[in-house]
Structure 1
Amino acid sequence: MAEEDPEPRVLVVLPDGQVLNGILRGRRRDPDGVWWYQTTVDIRATSVQPVPGQDYGSVPTVVQDTYPWQFEAPDTPGETTGILHRGDCTVATGRLTPMSDPVQARAFLREGWATACETCGPDPQ
Structure 2
Amino acid sequence: MDDKDDLAPDVSPPQADVTLPNGQHLQAAVIRRRRDRSGVWWYDLEIELPDRVDDRRHGPALTSRKVTFCAPHPVVQRIEGEDYSSLDLPPPEHRKRWRLSPPPQGDGWADVYLHRPDCAQAASEGGLVTDQEAREALAGPDITAPCPVCRPDTVLQYGR
TM-score by length of 2: 0.31
Greater percentage in helix: 2
Q: Over alpha carbons, which structure has the higher Rg? A: 2
TM-score for the superposition, normalised by structure 1: 0.39
Using CA pairs under 8 Å that are at least 6 residues apart, name the structure with larger relative contact order, 1 or 2: 1
